[in-house]
Structure 1
Amino acid sequence: MTQSPNDGPPVAATRDDPLLRHLSERLGGPAGKRLRPRFSPTSILLGLTVLGILLSALTSQYCRINGWGGVGVYHAGCYSDISALFSQRQLGDAPWSPLVGPGYFEYPVLTSLVAALLAASTRFLLTQDLTMALGWSTERASLLYWDLSFAAAAVVWLVLVLAVMKAAGARPWDAAIVAVSPAVIFGIGINWDIWAVTALALAILAFGRGAHISAGVMIGVGVSFKLFPLFMLGAVLVLALRRDTRLGFDVFLRTLGGAVASWLVLNVPAMLLSFSSWSEFFELSAERGAGYSSPWHIWQLIAEGRGGSGLSAETISGLSLGLFVAACLGVLVLGVRAKHPPRMVQLLFLIVASFLLLNKVYSPQFMIWLIPLIALAAPRWRDALIWQGFQVLHFWAVWMYLAGIVGDQDPQHSFDSALYIAAVLGHIGATLYLMAQVVLDILRPERDPVRHASRAPESGAAADPMPASELR
C-alpha cells in the first residue's frame, strides 16, 4: 500500500477548527508554529480512545451487575442485543448455531461468525477454574459473553481510530472525533456494528492510497458484517463517471472486483454450510415493517393516534427503497455536475446518511455508522458535537419510550410518544443539517476544511495528478 501524498506535517486542530481555537484560549491559546509535542498524534489518539473505552464500560455497569433483563436496562441505558441474543438464541448451548442452525440468527455471515466464536469462547472459559475465580459463573454466562464481545469491540475501536487517523492525512487530529465520540461510547456495547464501520474505514484508507483492489476487498468484508459498506461502490462510481479526474472506470471495476471476490470467499462457504442460516438476514430485511425511530415508525404512531391503521410492511418497503434510490440519483447528479470533483468520502457520507434516514429501522447503535465519515467528510467539531448531542438525546428517548411500553411504572419514569417523536425528529434534522454542510462543501470547495490541508493542487484536472483530498 503506497503512502498517501497527503501525509504531511499535522494540522494543529486548535488553529484550524473555530470551536477548538476558541476553547483553547482558556488553556494557553492555539498551538504555535514551534510546538514540539512530547507525544505523537498516534499515542495521544490511542490514549483518548482508551479513555472512551473506559467511559463506555462504565455506562454498562448497571447491567453488568444486575443483568440485562427487566425494565431496568432501559432506565440505565445499557440494553444490549449481544447479551439478549446470547440468552434468547441459546448460544451458550449451541455456540455455532448462527452459522449452521437450527437456531434463528438474523445477521450476515461475518457478524454470525464473530457471535459464534465469542459464544464458543464463553463456553470454553466457563469450564476453567480461573474464570470462576475472577467472578464469572455459568449462572450468568451472558455477562462473560458481553464482556468478551465488548473487549473485542474495544480492540476494533482502536483500529478504527488508527484507520481514520491515517485516512485523514495531514489532519490526524480529526480522528479524535472518533476516539472520544459519545455516539460510540453509548452505542458500541449494543450490537456488533463497530466491526462493519471499521472495515469501511479501512476500505476508505486503502482507496485513498491507491490500493483499489484492497479497498474492494475491505468493502466485501464490511458487507459481510452489515450492508452499508456496499455504498462505497456508489461513491467510487460517481467519481469514475467524471472526466476531470484520474479515476477511470477501470478503478471502479478493480474496486468492484475486489469486493465481489472477497464477498464470495466469505459467503459461499456459509451458503454451502447452511443456506437457510445464511439467508435469514436477507429474508428479515425484505419482510420487516417499520422499526423504532425510523420516519416510517413516526408515521405509524401519528396515524394510529388519529385512529388510522398506518402503512403495510410491503408499502413501507417499497417507499423506503424508492426514496433511497431517488436520494442516490441526487448524489449522482450532484457528484457529476459539481464544478470541482467531490471527495469520495463526501459522496459516501451523503449515501450512508440517506440510507439511515430512509431505512425501515433506526436502531440506537446505527449512529456509530456516521462517526468516521463525519471525521473525514465534515470534520467540524461544532457540527459533530451538535449532531452527537441529538443522537444521545434520541438514545435516551428510545429507551425511555420502550420502558413505557414493556414496563409497569409511573408515567414520570418514561417518555410519552410526543417526546419520543420530538427526539426522533431531532436526530433526523441534525443529520439533514450535516448533509447540507457536506453539499455546500462540494459546491463551494473553498469552505471544505480538508482541502485546506492538502498540499496538492485542488483542481483535479485530467492533466494533473488527482489530489489525495479527492481520493478520500
Structure 2
Amino acid sequence: MTPAEKDRPPVAPSREDPLLRHLSDRLGGPVGSRLRPRWRPAPVLLGLTVLAILLSALTSQYCRINGWGGVEVYHAGCYSDISALYGQRGLAESPWSPLISPGYFEYPVLTSLVAALAAALTHVLLGLEFLEGIVWEAGRASLLYWDLSFAVAALVWLVLVLIVMKAAGGRPWDAAIVATSPAIIFGIGINWDIWAVTALALAILGFSRGAHVSAGVMIGVGVSFKLFPLFMLGAVLVLVLRRDSPLGIGVFLRTLLGAVASWLLLNVPAMLVSFSSWAQFFELSAERGAGYSSPWHIWQVIAEESGGSGLTAETISAWSFTLFAASCVAILILGLLAPEPPRMVQLLFLILAAFLLVNKVYSPQFMIWLVPLIALAVPRWRDALIWQGFQVLHFWAIWMYLASGVGDQDPQHSFDSMLYVAAVLGHIGATLYLMIQVVMDILRPARDPVARSAMPTKTPAQAQAQVRAQPEAEPQPESPPASSTAGPRTIP
C-alpha cells in the first residue's frame, strides 16, 4: 500500500456498492462525504463476527443437547466430522492416534495436530475431579471435544476477519462479507477448514505487502492443513510471466522457496514419526471415487435413476485432473492476454473455484474456502449473497439426501434425489456466475470495484481549489466580419 493509499479515507460501502446504496435509502441514504465515523472498522467487524459466532453455535444446539448420532443430526443440520471422528478415529482412547501408527486419520499433518491437541485437552479436562459432573460428563466427551474445537475455530474466524480487513487496503468494510457469512456460520463447525483458509489469507496479506518469503511460508503452512493454498503459487506465476508485470521471476522463486521450506519443516518430522499415518491423506485423495455433491456424484445419481452405470474411480480421477489442468491453462491465457495485470487474488479465486467445480468431492464445509476470496476478488454484496444463498440451499439439500439413505423416513422428512441434484447444480451455477464476474473485471479493469476505488479521487474542495488556481483566459481580439466574397468557413 502506498502512502497516498494509507492517507485516503476508507471506501464507504453505502456509496460504492449498488445493493448497499439501495438499501441505505431506507435508513437515511448513503453516508455523506464529510461524515467522520465514530467507530473504526475493526471493532465493528469483530462485533459482527461475534454475533455470527453465537448464531453459528445456536445452529448446533440440537446436536449439543442430543448428541451427534442418528438421523436427526441431518434433519437439524448440525452434523459434524469433528464430533464423529473423535470416536471413529480412536481419539477417545488415544489423543495422538492421528499422528502415530496404527491410527487412521485422513487429513494433512497440521489438521491432524490440531485434532490431536484438542483431544489431549479433552482428556485432561475430563480427568479433573472438580469438573466432574459439573460441565461435561465422561459419557459426553465428544461434546467437550466439539466445544473446544469450535471455540478455537471461532477465535481463528476473528483473526481471519482482521486479516481480510488488512488485505482489503482502502476497502476494510469488505471484510464484513467474511464477518457475517452464512457459509461460515453453517460450515465452521463441520470440519477444520477455517484453519487452512486463514493461513491462505495470511499468505495473501503478506504477498500484498511485498513479503514474498513470508507469503510462501504461510502457503506451506496452509498446505499442511489442506491442499488448496498451494494454488496461490499458480496465481503468482501467471503474474510473473506477463511482460508488463512489475514482478520478476525472483518473486516467484522466493515465494516458492518459503512454501517448500515451511512445508518440509512441518511434514518431515511427521514422516519420520509415522510415514504410513502421514501418507493416508494422499492415498485417500488418489483412490477415492465420486464424492458427494461433485459433478461426478451427480452423474452417478442420474445414472442410477435411469438404470445405467456410473464411472470408475480411475476414470473420475483422470477426468477431474484433465478438466482442472485445462481450466488452469485457460486462466493462464486470460492472465497473460488481459489488458492490464490482474490482481493476484482474482487469479487465485478463478483457480480455486475451478478446482472446486471439477473436484471429486464437494463437502458442505468447502464453501468456506471461497468466502475471503470473494471479499477480496469480487466484493459485490449482491453477488456474494446470491452465491451464499445457493450454498445454504446445498447445505440443507445434502443433509436431507443423506437422511433419506440412513433409514426409513416419512416423505415429508427427506428430499427427493432430483431436488438434491438441482441444489448441486445450483451451487455449481452460482460459482460459475462469480467466475464470470471476475473474468469480466479482469478484461475490463474499470469494472473492477477494487481497481476503481484505488483510482485517485478529488474531494469537492480539491476540485474547487483546482478551478481557482487556473489562470483566467486572456480576451481574444474580435475578428473582422467575413465579407460576402470570402470562401467557405470551417467548423472548429
Q: TM-score, normalised by structure 1?
A: 0.95
Match of 1:136 in 2: 136
Match of 1:435 in 2: 435
Deviation >6 Å, runs of 4+? 2-5
> Aligned in 2, Cα 1:163/1:3: closer, same or farther, shift over 3 Å?
farther
Aligned residues: 456
Residues of 1 paired with 2:447 and 2:218: CA distance?
31
Tell me, which stretches of 5 or more residues in structure 2 are unaligned? Answer: 458-492
How far does residue 38 in structure 1 lie from its aligned partner after superposition? 1.9
Match of 1:247 in 2: 247
Higher relative contact order (CA 8 A, sep 6+): 1
Match of 1:80 in 2: 80
How far does residue 311 in structure 1 lie from its aligned partner after superposition? 0.4
How far does residue 455 in structure 1 lie from its aligned partner after superposition? 4.5
How far does residue 13 in structure 1 lie from its aligned partner after superposition? 0.6
> Aligned in 2, Cα 1:166/1:48: closer, same or farther, shift over 3 Å?
same
RMSD between aligned alpha carbons? Answer: 1.2
CA distances 1:95-114 after superposition (whole Å, capped 9, x unpaired): 00101121210000000000
Tell me, which stretches of 5 or more residues in structure 1 are unaligned? Answer: 458-472
Match of 2:467 in 1: none
CA distances 1:327-370 after superposition (whole Å, capped 9, x unpaired): 00000000011111100000000000000000000000000000
The percentage of aligned residue pairs carrying the same residue is 78
CA distances 1:175-219 after superposition (whole Å, capped 9, x unpaired): 000000000000000000000000000000000000000000000
How far does residue 3 in structure 1 lie from its aligned partner after superposition? 7.6
Residues of 1 paired with 2:230 and 2:413: CA distance?
40
Which secondary structure does the structure 2 equivalent of 1:453 belong to?
Answer: helix
CA distances 1:407-448 after superposition (whole Å, capped 9, x unpaired): 321111000111000000000000000000000000000000
Match of 2:374 in 1: 374
Match of 2:484 in 1: none
Match of 1:464 in 2: none
CA distances 1:16-53 after superposition (whole Å, capped 9, x unpaired): 00000000111111111122222110000000000110
Residues of 2 paired with 1:271 and 1:6: CA distance?
46
Residues of 1 paired with 2:4 and 2:200: CA distance?
21
Kept in 2, the 8 Å contact 1:4–1:169? The answer is no
Residues of 1 paired with 2:9 and 2:405: CA distance?
53
Greater C-alpha radius of gyration: 2
Residues of 2 paired with 1:60 and 1:265: CA distance?
36
Letter in 2 for 1:336: L
Which secondary structure does the structure 2 equivalent of 1:154 belong to?
Answer: helix
Residues of 1 paired with 2:381 and 2:134: CA distance?
41
How far does residue 133 in structure 1 lie from its aligned partner after superposition? 5.1
Letter in 2 for 1:63: C
> Aligned in 2, Cα 1:456/1:26: closer, same or farther, shift over 3 Å?
closer
Match of 1:463 in 2: none
Match of 2:214 in 1: 214
Match of 2:148 in 1: 148
How far does residue 87 in structure 1 lie from its aligned partner after superposition? 1.1
Match of 1:282 in 2: 282
The answer to which of 121-130 and 223-232 deviates more is 121-130
> Aligned in 2, Cα 1:231/1:84: closer, same or farther, shift over 3 Å?
same
1:30 and 2:30 matched: yes
Match of 1:97 in 2: 97
Match of 1:469 in 2: none
Kept in 2, the 8 Å contact 1:231–1:352? The answer is yes
Kept in 2, the 8 Å contact 1:4–1:209? The answer is no
Residues of 1 paired with 2:341 and 2:412: CA distance?
52
Q: TM-score, normalised by structure 2?
A: 0.91
Residues of 1 paired with 2:198 and 2:52: CA distance?
16
> Aligned in 2, Cα 1:120/1:5: closer, same or farther, shift over 3 Å?
farther
